[in-house]
Every structure is written in structure tokens, then in C-alpha cells.
Amino acid sequence: MATNRQSLKDLQERLAQRLTAAKSEAATASWLAVEASGQRYLMPLVQSGEIFPWAAVQVVPYTKPWYVGVASLRGGLHGVIDLARFVGGETGSPLAASPVDRVTSDSRLVSLHTALGFNAVFWIDRLLGLRNPAMFGALGERPAASRDYFTRSLVDHQGHSWQELDLQALTAEPEFMAIAA
């Protein structure tokens, strides 16, 4: 009986330690790390919204190639934007395929925070988790002639380059509202 109480007490202590560690990790996380067409991006958590699995998208004709269509998510209609195409990553061969051909089990839709005032989601190829500033060792080279929504380039300790996106600046781009082809 005494050993059962001790085991239960040990279990409770381990759970308490894990909860404390999880809370501190979530509090220090600054970005949602995503991948789109082989490029790594950091989306600020304060500007990101909910993450959805890939949903059926209704194609909207006569729109720009980066505007995939609309999806019904939690009862609301959201415009689906191909992040890789919108930010200019059209050079890779995966983008030559139609959007439906690129959908995998890792594909996700990341919504904008409601404070930004847009019912829109970004289609990404996969989630890479949460990142905090301690996970990066250096500033990288900012791409030449990059748009204002690319705030900076960071290099992690494994040598991977990441582009930080300012989603508020991205939604302020005139092109973001001009979906007609």
C-alpha cells in the first residue's frame, strides 16, 4: 500500500514538472515554423490563428494563381492563399503542378489572427513546430529586393535559413486584396 502511494506521488511530481516545462516553453515561443515549397518561414504567434488540416477547397475562377479558392472552416468561409506562390516562390518545380497535386497528408491551413480582420488561411506544405529566439544563432542575408513583409532572415543552429514574415504587413500589401486575374 505504501509503495502505491509513493508511486502515485512520484507520478504527480513528474506530471507537475512536465506541465511547468510546457508552460514555460509555450510562453517563450515566438513563431509558428512552417514550410512552403521547400522554404522555411516563421509566422509570429501573435499574428497567426488556428491551424486546420487540409479541407475541401472550392476553386474560384478568374483569380490569381496564388488564390487557391475558398474553404468552409468551422462554419465560416475563408479564402485559401498558397503561401509559396504569394510570397514569390514560383521558381521550384513543385509549384508547376496544380495545387491539388501538391496536397499531402502534411498540408495544413493556417489562419490569420482575427485581429487582422481577414477570413483567410495560408496553405502550407507542413508544420515544423514552434520556435523561439534561442533556437537561432545568427541573422542571415535578407533576400535582395524583398518585400516589406519579410522582416528578417534568421539562421538556426543547424544552419537552416528562415524568413520571418510580418503577417500584418503582408495583409496590407495591395496585391493581397487584388485576387482577380
Q: 157-180 as b/e, with b when 16 or more CB fall inside 10 Å?
A: eeeeebbbbbbeebbeeeebeeee
What average pLDDT does range 10-28 have in this prediction?
68
Task: Name all domains of the chain by residue range, CATH numbers in brackets.
Answer: 31-177 (2.40.50.180)
What average pLDDT does range 35-59 have in this prediction?
93
pLDDT for 147 beyond 90: no
CA distance 78 to 157: 36
Q: What is the pLDDT of residues 21-35, one digit of tens each?
A: 665 555 567 999 999
Using a pLDDT cut of 90, give the percent of the chain over it: 55
Q: What is the pLDDT of residues 55-114, one digit of tens each?
A: 899 999 999 999 999 999 999 999 999 999 998 755 444 444 566 678 888 999 999 999
pTM for the full model?
Answer: 0.78
From the number of C-beta atoms within 10 Å of its C-beta (0-12, 13-18, 19+), residue 84 rates as: buried
